[in-house]
Structure 1
């Protein structure tokens, strides 16, 4: 036994302290790994449960869930649009304008439409208080993450959906800068949401 008060004693205490500190750090690291694994597995279980529900409910279940994007084609007003990629439909949570139609230019750029019938015509969406930034709400984005095409000032006078601000209900009527309304819309929109990577997609 090393006598107390000697250099050897204090060195032994110091070495023991370092050893115990390393053990604590090691256990904390293992604990974090376990927690991360637990969160990962929990997310996987939630994803699989959702897929199970989708299998049982199919398209109808997806269209009832505002967080589900149904990959499918739809009929749309092509009056002022530059996006012709993959197409999706989702629940908008609004009425009128029950369903959002999304056509990709790229995973981060798209054109949005609204319709009350998934088998009917999907119409353009205009903004009476801006240029369409608040429409990002429809796919999980916000006005602060929005980038709008600069050509909204040339939007033609047609029929479509419109509103003036975030969370406001939509109306159907005249839209387009070149028409009789003050409701503008552009040919594309970016919302900081990458589709399909950032969303849940159900494929028929």
Structure 2
């Protein structure tokens, strides 16, 4: 599998383990973990707006039992949900803000020669953390190493149900005790397990935990004629001076004969560029009405997204780029930034995962 397939993880080809062949019931649920139904009291007064919990609250249950498509959200003792404003785009960056980053330096002895054994224990208390309303990613979290074990890193294994029963796992390394798994398909069961390692070898692999992603938001994405957009990996020329994103690059053709290029921070945060030609320079996009929120149209999102970092147009360097005032307006080319009314940004969050390959 290439580095741009599925979730960007390389396929694990290690010798199958006995644990890997354990298959959970496809209809497996924890029925006792459902919230008790709320008591509804008839009212003779005008209905009051629903009070939304503080954004980013953490709970063993989703704030809403059913997703936007009416499907019951998955619950289990090892699953945790993060809430968010339903009108806000999904943000992996915001989800990761809930995790404390513990350096492995804190638990690695200064002299590894004092211990010449690989880790002896499996990672403990594996948790799947999901953001409510966001099907495309989860964060796998686990506890620090058992005292006495020397751990210098971890391998996180993931598989869809179809790959799980064939013992085909994708792997990704982590130097901390959590890892985001991105570009997940909606309404799909995935399995996850974790293994500790050090210079002397690999420890035992944990038991698998499963999670079923929720439905896609039917109101979020507008599909152009021809169906799913195809993002092609392509290292295009662009001005990298004003962007927070420096990851993989993808391009696609737009419906009005321009190319859209994105540079990823992660699958849900990226910088959007435009170009007339695939081999020419790709340019930032200016906005004279807002802060680029409606530029999410270029990645097929109906949502007015989040952008950043926040600044003033007077503080932005004057550069060349495309610009427009409102959604659906054709873009023009010229100067943007300082000395113009056209504001541009360093990143966008549009609720659409890129490349989104499943």
TM range (shorter): 0.5 to 0.7
Task: Describe how 1:133-152 pairs up with structure 2 within 5 A.
Answer: 133-144=293-304, 146-152=305-311
Deviation at 1:93, TM superposition (A): 2.0
Deviations 1:77-134 (A, max 9, x none): 1231111111001112235xx1011000011100011111111100111111110011
Structure 1 residues 27-59: Cα deviation after superposition (integer angstroms, max 9, x where no partner): xxxxxxxxxxxxxxxxxxxxxxxxxxxxxxxxx
> Are 2:244 and 1:82 equivalent residues in the alignment?
yes
**Equivalent residue number for residue 158 of structure 1:** 319
TM-score (structure 2 length as normaliser)? 0.35
**Structure 1 segments of 4+ aligned residues over 3 angstroms from their partners:** none
Query: In 1, distance between residues paired with 2:255 and 2:240?
Result: 24
Q: What whole-Å deviation, never above 9, does each CA across 1:148-186 have from its counterpart, x for those lacking one?
A: 11334232111100000001100000101xx22110011
1:94 to 225, 231, 256: 256
Structure 1 Cα separation of the partners of residues 322 and 227 of structure 2: 22
Q: Distance in 1 between matches of 2:239 and 2:228?
A: 23
Q: Normalising by the residue count of structure 1, what TM-score does the alignment of the two structures yield?
A: 0.60
Q: CA 1:152–1:119 in 2, change beyond 3 Å: closer, same or farther?
A: farther
Matched, 1:119 2:279: yes
Determine which of 181, 185, 188 is the counterpart of 2:340.
Answer: 181
- CA contact 1:126–1:132 (8 Å) conserved in 2: yes
1:1-204 paired onto structure 2 within 5 Å? 67-95=229-257, 98-144=258-304, 146-153=305-312, 154-176=315-337, 179-197=338-356
Tell me how many residue pairs correspond in the alignment: 131
Check conservation: 2:308, 2:346, Cα contact below 8 A.
yes
Checking the alignment, whether the CA contact within 8 Å between 1:69 and 1:89 is kept in structure 2 is yes
Report the structure number with the largest CA radius of gyration.
1
The structure with the greater share of residues assigned to helix is 1
Query: What's the CA shift for 1:66?
Result: 7.9
> Which structure carries more relative contact order (alpha carbon 8 Å, separation 6+)?
1
1:133–1:142 CA contact under 8 A, matched in 2: no
Change (3 A) 1:65 1:99: farther
Change (3 A) 1:105 1:186: same
Moved more, 151-160 or 78-87: 151-160
Structure 2 CA distance for aligned equivalents of residues 167 and 152 of structure 1: 25
CA distance in 2: counterparts of 1:65 and 1:174, whole angstroms: 34
Q: Where does structure 1 lack aligned partners over 5 or more consecutive residues? A: 1-63
Distance 2:233 2:227 in 1: 14
